[in-house]
Structure 1
Amino acid sequence: MTSLPNLLTNFKALFISIILEALPFMLLGVLFSSILEVFVSEATVRRLIPNNPLLAVLFSCVLGFIFPICECGLTPVVRRLIHKGMPLYTAIVFILAGPIVNPVVFAATYMAFRTEPHLAYYRLLLATVVASAIGLFIWRVVKTDPLRPAPSGVSGQAHAGSLTAVRKLPVRVHSGAVIGQTSRFVLSRVRSPRRSVIRGRISSSLSHAIEEFFEMGKYLLLGGAITALIQCLLSRDSLIALGGGPLSSHIFMMGMAYLLSLCSTSDAFVASSFASAFPAGALLTFMIFGPMLDLKGTIMLLSVFKAKFVLLLAVLIIVTVFIVALIAGQTLPMS
């Protein structure tokens, strides 16, 4: 039995290695996400969606590649897109494929599996297949609106409030005074430098990036700690026994992915730490299933969609990922 000092030493070594490898990619992901949050409007994306369902599904997958937004920030973005007219099935494809089919996650996966780089390509391909299949199923089956009632439009209220405030301002009877005040107001608006607007957007992007980094960082720390602890407490023989089963390995990695709730920019490094005990198919299950459905993601989905639809979506993800990864595992054994 391993002594406590050795256990702590192994835990620290595993935990630090996972965090240090994943941190740069998570930081890059939140920077991209924050820039897009501030500088790219949802209406611009919505206008580009094709009318053909198959093309729209493929476009949503490409959209995930172009806009590398982490799953932590996709749900509120997609809710706004749906309210602006984006079809439900394309929004679901974007939610499922977006966190995986993007260059930041691909680079992180490629670096995590430097000795098995083909897993990075297969992760991208299988995520596209899973997301497209689920999106087409929802297009054919779901005919009712699954969205929860949207909260009151704060921006509209704020705009109305500002207009009301302007109307209630005391107005002098003397026309010259009124004209003078109006002219100074208009000139102050005109003289506002464009540079200050850009500076404000950059400041907003950085603030959003910092907030999202700390929000996602706690999940990375928790996931890395649990992963390191599991590998320290479970013997290698126990892990090999779980990973050796043709079905148990996939089920175990699905459960791990759901509970750890890792960011897609860092989960590949956690998966690679299990590479010696689990086959390639189970590792793909972990890397595809986690970004599509995990604990924190379920809570976020329930805040946007009705519980019945979230349950349907969860069943579709579980079944589709299991089948696709099981087939891939038969053709791509870990060398």
Structure 2
Amino acid sequence: MPNPAVQKKSVQWNSNLLAVVSLIGIIALYVLSDNASGALLQHPKLQLFKMLFLSIIIEALPFILIGVLVSAALQVFVSEQTIQRMIPKNPVLGIVTASVIGIIFPICECGMVPAIRRLIQKGMPLYAATTFILVGPILNPIVFWSTFTAFRNRPEMTISRMGLAFLVALAIGLIVYRFVKTDQLKHNEAKLEHHHHEHDGFHPLGRNKGIELMGHAISEFFEMGKYLMLGALLVGLLQAFVSKDSLVALGHVQGSANLLMMGLGFILSLCSTSDAFVAQSFAATFSKSSLVAFMVFGPMLNLKGILMMSAVFKPRFVALYSSLVFVFVYAGTLLLEWLQF
């Protein structure tokens, strides 16, 4: 059972981190401003930051809400045996099944983390859960349609995005199956909740399921929300103060375009349902393979998403996940470029 003192210290550390980052952001805004301190609130870059920060929050909150509601429903209504029966023992079939689940339940990457934590606690193997995290934001009808619409005259872009996402998820899922054998969640929340219910003198089965559903959803919403806020803060600062023109200039250096677009996907942290239209706006500047890199890497690994993953998974697994996504997406897009895609 987790030590309450350790949990309290962890929460306090997270709050302190958010306060420090916020303070750094305020100082950076002040230093970068050419105006007097009294005019700081009217500085154009601060106005841009506020617009970006709020737009990210507004865009992500509905998906966070969907994710925590799915997570709560899984906790209350779906048994461990049901989840275990859904995933075949064969790892390849398990990965394919997880991909199909991602298509059936199209959850944006913002809502993926709370849902996947609950699936793991219910018995989904880590390799299948990893696959679900990777393909869920991309291999779904909404993203397929938005990508097809953005690149209506280039259907190969849609096919390449979906195909590369599946192949990357397959490769990473098999690596996780082969080499990661231990529990990678930061703590076993289910046992903690069971302890609290026993301590209070009643069992979850005796509770009203509607009340239990809302309790789980509210708790998860606030836990994930603080990481979304921190991610939105960092993304807003980066987008407001890092010149896109200077970044785009780097894209003309031989071999750097794919890396640059992957970096933009990480920093911009766009929702996978809308990032194809942003990628399309770069079509005259960057190669098709680098645009695919942007549309595959961003949903799989971005700034706000990695902060939310860090709240659920152990640091070593987050580092492994990030490294594998980077290597396979970059290698896959280089292969596309070599094939003169």
TM-score by length of 2: 0.67
Which secondary structure does the structure 2 equivalent of 1:258 belong to?
helix
Q: What are the Cα deviations for residues 235-269 of structure 1, in whole angstroms up to 9, with x where unaligned?
A: 7xx73x53344421011111111112222122222
Flag the structure with more relative contact order, 1 or 2, with Cα contacts below 8 A and sequence separation at least 6.
1
- Structure 2 residue corresponding to 1:322, chosen from 318, 330, 334: 330
Change (3 A) 1:30 1:144: closer
Q: Which runs of 5+ in 2 are unaligned?
A: 1-43
Change (3 A) 1:139 1:87: same
The reply on whether 1:85 has 2:93 as its aligned counterpart is: no
TM-score by length of 1: 0.68
- RMSD, aligned α-carbons: 4.2
- Whole-Å separation in 1 of the counterparts to 2:185 and 2:196: 24
- Structure 1 residue corresponding to 2:293, chosen from 282, 285, 289: 285
Taking only the aligned residue pairs, the percentage that are identical comes to 41
Q: What are the Cα deviations for residues 41-83 of structure 1, in whole angstroms up to 9, with x where unaligned?
A: 5544442111111111111111111111111121222222222
Tell me how far 1:109 sits from its aligned partner. Answer: 1.5
- Whole-Å separation in 2 of the counterparts to 1:299 and 1:30: 14
Tell me how far 1:84 sits from its aligned partner. Answer: 1.8
Structure 1 stretch displaced more, 272-281 or 301-310: 301-310
- Whole-Å separation in 1 of the counterparts to 2:183 and 2:230: 34
- Structure 1 residue corresponding to 2:302, chosen from 294, 298, 315: 294
Please name the residue that 2:273 is paired with.
265
- Is contact 1:285–1:321 with CA below 8 Å preserved after alignment? yes
Tell me how far 1:112 sits from its aligned partner. Answer: 2.1
Change (3 A) 1:213 1:143: closer
Change (3 A) 1:225 1:159: closer
Structure showing greater Rg = 1
Please name the residue that 1:53 is paired with.
91
- Is contact 1:227–1:270 with CA below 8 Å preserved after alignment? no
Which secondary structure does the structure 2 equivalent of 1:100 belong to?
coil
Please name the residue that 1:313 is paired with.
321
Q: What are the Cα deviations for residues 166-200 of structure 1, in whole angstroms up to 9, with x where unaligned?
A: xxxxxxxxxxxxxxxxxxxxxxx9xx9xxxx89x9
Tell me how far 1:215 sits from its aligned partner. Answer: 9.2
Alignment of 1:1-335 (within 5 A): 33=67, 36-37=70-71, 41=77, 43=79, 44-151=82-189, 153=191, 155-157=193-195, 159-160=197-198, 163=201, 234=245, 239=248, 241-331=249-339, 333=341
Which secondary structure does the structure 1 equivalent of 2:286 belong to?
coil
Q: Which runs of 5+ in 1 are unaligned?
A: 1-7, 166-188
- Whole-Å separation in 1 of the counterparts to 2:333 and 2:98: 22
- Is contact 1:249–1:278 with CA below 8 Å preserved after alignment? yes
- Is contact 1:224–1:270 with CA below 8 Å preserved after alignment? no
* Counterpart AA for 2:276: A
- Is contact 2:232–2:304 with CA below 8 Å preserved after alignment? no
* Counterpart AA for 1:79: R
Change (3 A) 1:313 1:212: closer
- Whole-Å separation in 2 of the counterparts to 1:66 and 1:102: 7
Change (3 A) 1:88 1:214: closer
